[in-house]
Structure 1
Amino acid sequence: MLLEKLSRAEGFSAAEQEIARCVLERREEILGMTIGQLAEAAYSSNPTIVRLCRKLGVGGFREFKIVLASELERAADTGEVDANLPFGMKQSAEEIARNIADLTRSTVREAELLLDGTSLNAAASMLERARRVYLFAAGDSMIRALSFQGKLLKIDRPVQISNLMQEQGVYAYQASAEDCAVFITYRGRQPGFAEYAATMRENGVNLIAITADGEGEVAKRCDIVFRLPVNEDPLEKIATFSSQIAIEYVLNVLYSCLFNLRYEHHFAIKQAGQAYAEQVERGSERRGNGME
């Protein structure tokens, strides 16, 4: 989490430590400051603040303030549920349920603040125009990707996805300028993804990244990047609660924007497919019961 990273100040230069100290002492006030005003208050400079923002996993001062505001709001509304340790050893089932609900709401709110309509519309148009859509994910994110694939298939969007690295490499090699690829990686460090993105970019493929590492090698190669909240520590977390909540939310928003481009058309396709599937299912049930 942002405030925790500022408190630890691990790997910070002396100038960055002074900026962190200033932010921690004047949290609410920072939200109304410009980058120049913070630089003056911390006896620093605009470039140093930008470098610190990137070190913290955010793209710039504007995004820094959005994430800070979300964390302060979460702390005020919910007592700040820790995304890494959202419950303790002796908490009751009711307390755990409440904490997970609070974490879900705060994560979705923070993810919403990081989205913008222009990028969502552009990404939805890429998916709509694409001859084929390639999804790249691994681990827990693969579950979210498979759910997204199911939604796209229901509106006749052809999707390729694999959890095998060799097959992912083949997809990256075969993709062309008529296609679109979505990279789903919280930390942005999945083996092979940066290389796949580089190859696909050379071939003119439209690329979308969903990641918390907006300055990473995968994000740098993509046309559109949807930033995820930076809340989890890989060594301290109980599970991927916050990251997967954020990924699923962004994918649901992206699907909804795509659906909305041709609402009636997509709705008709989905209804027709569902009606056919139910008809086949009823026929199978009748045969199974000896009715035919």
Structure 2
Amino acid sequence: MPTTHPATPASAVANIRAQQDFLPATLQRVAAHILEKPERVIYQTITELAQDAGVGESTITRLCRRLGYPGFHAFKIALTTDLAQIDTPTPPSADADVVTRAAHQAVSALEETRRVIDLSTLERVARAIVNAPRIDVVGQGNSGLAAQFFATKLMRLGITTVAYTDPHLATVAAATQTPQGVVLGLTRSGSTIDTVQTLTVAYERGAHTVAVTNRASSPITRVARDVLFTAAPESPLAGGAISSFTSQVLLLEALYLAVYALIPDADDAMRRTAQSVVEKKY
């Protein structure tokens, strides 16, 4: 007979309130903190919540499992669903409203990201890329699309670059990196397990590891020599909102331009690569 698993609780808020009085003192404190600031918690990483609540990350995981969730991310999805049911926005009445909303999100993300980009870090990473024998860019989901975008840009400059969206291949590649190599890990939350693990392997190899993330307090920053920040926080139910994707693309475009400026024959490389695909177009 197939193994049966207990159903994941539907309501995070109701589940916490039902069990709160029966939890150990430390878990009670975390539960109370979550109930007090649920709108903040859904945008936090496990590291940020642990810091806010004054506990270790393992305590957060223990609470989530005590409540019936496999981990913190699953708990956040349930909590976000609760909040969405409490405050469901009124849908736009016309297609124009949809376009306006999407455009506003994209523009806001671009402007916020522009403000948080540290130019000295950007320049340092650009120089590392120019001097590296190989660049690996890794990401999952929409971050994988951004990784492919950036790898293609660098390839057109003659820089050996590979984008990895398969976590197994990414980790294998990281294990073959050298101290002169560069590995960029793209993860909005900073908590994508596969990307963090890949960057960890590259870090242990001595490679120049770079995290592109929205979160300063997140697991990936612990194994990144440099961190480039994007803006536009995203809830667990957003599913890759245009704001977060746009902010990644802007940062990578800025990094590409910084690299371009450091390559003396960049214009020639662009001309050659453009000519190489002339016959591919009508």
Same fold at TM > 0.5: yes
**Could you tell me whether the CA contact under 8 Å between 2:167 and 2:195 is conserved in 1?**
no
Q: Normalising by the residue count of structure 2, what TM-score does the alignment of the two structures yield?
A: 0.66
Q: Normalising by the residue count of structure 1, what TM-score does the alignment of the two structures yield?
A: 0.64
- CA distance, structure 1, for counterparts of residue 31 and residue 121 of structure 2: 33
Indicate the SS of the match to 2:193.
coil
188, 192, 198: which is aligned to 1:186?
Answer: 188
- CA distance, structure 1, for counterparts of residue 153 and residue 212 of structure 2: 17
Tell me the percent identity.
16
Matched, 1:268 2:268: yes
Unpaired runs of at least 5, structure 2: 1-29, 41-50, 56-86
Cα 1:135/1:90, change in 2 over 3 Å: same
Indicate the SS of the match to 1:176.
coil
Match of 1:220 in 2: 222
1:39-188 equivalent positions in 2, closer than 5 A: 52=52, 88-188=90-190
Cα 1:162/1:116, change in 2 over 3 Å: closer
Indicate the SS of the match to 1:275.
helix
**Could you tell me whether the CA contact under 8 Å between 1:54 and 1:215 is conserved in 2?**
no
- CA distance, structure 2, for counterparts of residue 116 and residue 216 of structure 1: 18
**Could you tell me whether the CA contact under 8 Å between 1:107 and 1:242 is conserved in 2?**
yes
- CA distance, structure 2, for counterparts of residue 175 and residue 90 of structure 1: 49
One-letter amino acid of the counterpart of residue 209, structure 1: A
- CA distance, structure 1, for counterparts of residue 207 and residue 53 of structure 2: 30
Q: CA deviation at 1:12?
A: 7.5
Match of 1:277 in 2: 277
Cα 1:99/1:116, change in 2 over 3 Å: same
One-letter amino acid of the counterpart of residue 273, structure 1: T
- CA distance, structure 2, for counterparts of residue 139 and residue 203 of structure 1: 25
**Could you tell me whether the CA contact under 8 Å between 2:33 and 2:53 is conserved in 1?**
no
1:208-234 Cα deviation digits (max 9, x unpaired): 111122222211110111122252111
**Could you tell me whether the CA contact under 8 Å between 2:117 and 2:229 is conserved in 1?**
yes
**Could you tell me whether the CA contact under 8 Å between 1:138 and 1:163 is conserved in 2?**
yes
Cα 1:131/1:54, change in 2 over 3 Å: farther
Unpaired runs of at least 5, structure 1: 1-9, 21-50, 56-84, 286-292
The runs of at least 4 aligned residues of structure 1 exceeding 3 Å deviation read 10-14, 51-55
Pairwise CA RMSD of aligned residues? 3.0
- CA distance, structure 2, for counterparts of residue 11 and residue 244 of structure 1: 32
Indicate the SS of the match to 2:209.
strand
